[in-house]
Amino acid sequence: MIFVEGEISNFSTPASGHWYFTLKDSKAQLRSAMFRGSNRKIRFVPRNGLQVVVRGRISLYEGRGEFQMIAEFIEEAGDGALRRAYETLKNQLETEGLFSADLKKQLPTLPKHLAIITSPTGAAIRDVLQILKRRFPAMAVSIIPVQVQGEESIQQIVEALSLANRPFANLYGDFDAILLTRGGGSLEDLWSFNTEPVARAIAASSIPVISAIGHETDTTIADFVADFRAPTPSAAAEILSPDSESWMRHFLQIENSLHRYASQLQERLSSNLVHLRRRLRHPGQRIQDWYQRLDDLEARLASSYRHYLANLNFDNLELRLKSAMNQTISTAKHRLNAQSKAADPSRLLAEIHTQSLVVNHLSQSLIHQSKLASSSAAHRLGSLSVRLDSVSPLGTLSRGYAIVTKDEKVIKNTGVLKLGDKVETRLSRGGFKSEIIEIEES
């Protein structure tokens, strides 16, 4: 890639859209061509006699057997030196890594305090403030005034970036975003933003920097170093400020969601309250339930006790009671004998007398209880005997009835009999055998 400076001559624009011209100075000339795909990017139309700087490459045109320059970019000669300085610094900083995406800081979603470094009288600041006020008037904005072109502008921009990174003890707090902006202009007008001090000051900022320098087609070194590049100042204001109407819609959606949740929660709690009220019972009713349960347990206990008495074997109950009493007395005597060896004789006699009274009392109580149990059992046995006798076949026979059997099976009707059958008849006392000689149907 080479740069050639010279005067344009023999400039022609055929129907194809390509440009053909000759670059010359007082000593030499160079045929040149700029094809349509490249010349579309040029913002001016070259003319004969115009001094320009052309960037391109040398090629051989075989049709004439001549060397020519294939131009890729062309600019007026006044900007040529600046353009070369621009390319040199750009390559240097890019090599150092100042343009690396890893160094880019994330812009805040909603800046609370925005610093704008620009000229306070330019058209750019008016557009930015107007958009910020329309979209999100709650954002705090502080303007740090600087010159945006001229010899003093470079130092002012560097100092403004340093100032924006200092802690601020004021109502709005520290800055959380910096907008570096100015309106459009020529390469020379924008040169302050293509200098090394400004580029390094942007890279050194701990606060995210968004650059919006000139028009969309203008690209400065500040754009490459900044954390984010906006095509225009107005676009930067759009990017930095959230849409208040969109936020209000979002807040309304959240509010509606909270209302729905609160209503659902209230309905659920009301339903639970109704359910708990239905389950809640008066303490008096619970006491009545416990009284009823107590009566039921008492009845079951009495029934179990009667069942226990009904299944007792009263024949040997008295013997068992006497055996238990004798065992108790024997155990007590052994304990008394064991204690009498170490006890005081007087206290031992008193204790023996007391224990004897207890034993006699227990003995009398056991005898009394055994008699009561025996009497109750005898009475129950008599009652059961009477009931058994009332349903006994023998009792039926004693009242004049008889039981007729055939082959040890009781005859209940004449349908099972035939003439000549042998049957047995059982009476209350004794019985007899007979033969069927006649059958009467009922």
93 pLDDT band, cuts 50/70/90, is: very high
**Element counts in the chain: helices (H) and strands (E):** 12, 14
Rounded to an integer, the average pLDDT of 227-243 is 89
Mean pLDDT, rounded, of the chain = 82
Per-residue pLDDT at 230: 92
Q: Assign 51 to helix, strand or coil.
A: strand
Which residues have a Cβ under 8 Å from the Cβ of 61 and sit 6 or more positions away? 31, 67, 68
Which contacts qualify for 154-159: CB closer than 8 Å, 24 or more apart? 154/192, 154/195, 154/197, 154/198, 155/197, 157/117, 157/192, 157/193, 157/198, 157/201, 158/197, 158/198, 158/201
Per-residue pLDDT at 357: 82
435 pLDDT above the threshold of 80: yes
364 pLDDT band, cuts 50/70/90, is: confident
305 pLDDT band, cuts 50/70/90, is: low
For residues 225 and 202, the answer to whether their CB atoms sit within 8 Å is yes
User: What phi and psi values does residue 427 have, to the nearest 5 degrees?
Assistant: -105, 180
| Nearest one of 162, 179, 164 to 240, comparing CA atoms | 179
172 pLDDT above the threshold of 70: yes
pLDDT digits (tens, 9 = 90+) for 353-363: 787 787 778 77
347 pLDDT band, cuts 50/70/90, is: low
- Report the DSSP pairing between strands 409-410 and 403-406: antiparallel
342 pLDDT above the threshold of 60: no
pLDDT digits (tens, 9 = 90+) for 421-432: 888 888 877 888
Higher pLDDT pick, 76 / 229: 229
Which residues have a Cβ under 8 Å from the Cβ of 155 and sit 6 or more positions away? 197
Helices (H), 97-166: 123-135, 153-164
Residue type, position 231, single letter: P
- How large a percentage of the chain has pLDDT more than 90? 32
How far from the centroid of its chain's Cα atoms is residue 122's Cα? 52
Range of lowest pLDDT (124-128, 262-266, 392-396) = 392-396
* pTM score, whole prediction: 0.45
